[in-house]
Structure 1
Amino acid sequence: MTAEALAILKAAGAEGIEHPGGTLMAHLRRVSALLASWGARPALVSAGLCHAFYGTDGFPVALLDLERRAELVEAIGAEAEELVYFYASCDRASSHPGLTDEPSTFVDRFTGARTRPSIEARRDFAELTAANELDILAVSPQARVRYGADLRDLFTRWRPLLSEPARAHCRSVLGEPDH
């Protein structure tokens, strides 16, 4: 985690934004730590810390305008910022169901563009999504009741994209799939 990324998060008010399990800042730190515990490379760990900078399809609060992407690139590097943008730009309803398909179609919710991301990009996206959602479920019994079964189904379908540590964490938080 870079000091620059933490400074931008603080300046954007992440410590004061409510989020399951406390504040958005606490959540971002937990997601980053979870990815690190799974052995993720540094760029993905940094993306975990910053994944909410541009808001997401499920969390509309943006900490930084898209016009200011260069600031995040400076703080965490181009590769990590690209992962943050890719994660934030996901139109979940259009992109999640076919993420494991070859070819997979990914819809950018900011531009409407349809792309065919590489298997590496889809693995990173699945890993970051799993870390994000599993953190929320681990700290929020309400979210676990409301979303747990759907996320278990999603992550079961995404099993080919997830690392073994991520799959094991899915099982520990969500239990074994019913099918």
Structure 2
Amino acid sequence: MRRIDLSDDGSPASGPGRAARWPGVEEFLRARGAGEMPHPGGTLLDHLIRVARLLGEWGADPDVRAAGLCHAAYGTDGFDQALVETAEHALLAELIGERAEALVHLYASCDRGVVYPRLASGRPVVFRDRFTGGEHTPPEPDVRAFVEITAANELDVLAHNAELADRHGPALHRLFTRSRDLLSAAAREAVGQQLGRYAPMRGRGAGSPV
């Protein structure tokens, strides 16, 4: 299967790995309207590119970076504007690879209200699919990739919207603190630097540095 390889900075690389149908992942996302959708920090496409770049800075592997670049393709529990129908999964898989597409679907299908609390309540983590209502237990590498992409996504959103940061910062700090074992060291450091101000004051609540 031919696919788009990502360079170290998270951007699509040229060469024989490029898919025949689209000149690149960014072009595909732009053709689906990501370049016109408003999003904190500019457009949805701007956000997707920054998330992929941040994952690259954290040392994520190519599949995780590709999933980060396309993480909103099917819409998400927090952003319901889909660029690609789930029935088109083969098209996205052809573009970025089967594992990356599977991670995009895992991210998109997550019922956050159910899954986020479970990230703090033991392992393995049982996911609830918001599309089907079914539950399943992804393998640990996929859960780690999910949490890493979640951290990159949320940190970028909060960095570009102070109101959202103040509203959701404390809850996200708790989430990533309680799921810190699933984050890379670089992601934990980034979370601590950006969200540390939302940590409970010493002696006034649970929580530990991420």
TM-score range, shorter-chain basis?
Answer: over 0.9
1:132 paired residue among 153, 157, 161: 153
Alpha-carbon contact 2:124-2:140 (below 8 Å) kept:
no
Counterpart in the other structure of 2:127: 106
Alignment map for 1:27-66 (pairs within 5 Å)? 27-66=47-86
The residue that corresponds to 1:92 in the other structure is 112
The question of whether the paired residues in 2 share the 8 Å contact of 1:17 and 1:23 is answered with yes
Q: Deviations over 1:141-175 (max 9, x none)?
A: 11111111110011101111000000000011111
Q: Which has the larger share of helix?
A: 1
Letter in 2 for 1:16: E
Distance in 2 between the 1:148 and 1:96 partners?
Answer: 15
Let me know the Cα RMSD of the aligned residues: 1.1
Q: How many residues align?
A: 179
- Counterpart of 2:194, as a letter, is V
- Aligned identity (percent) is 48
8 Å CA contact 1:130–1:155 kept in 2: the answer is: yes
Task: Structure 2: give runs of 5+ residues left out of the alignment.
Answer: 1-5, 7-11, 13-22, 201-206
Return the index of the structure with the highest Cα Rg: 2
Tell me the CA shift for residue 119 of structure 1.
1.6
Q: Is the 8 A contact 2:38 2:44 kept in 1?
A: yes
- Structure 1: where are the runs of 5+ without partners? none
TM-score of the aligned structures, taking structure 1 as reference length: 0.96
Deviations 1:96-137 (A, max 9, x none): 111252232100111111011222111111000000000011
In the aligned structure 1, how far is the partner of 2:127 from the partner of 2:167? 26
Instruction: Tell me which residue corresponds to 2:193.
Output: 172
TM score, norm. by length of structure 2? 0.82
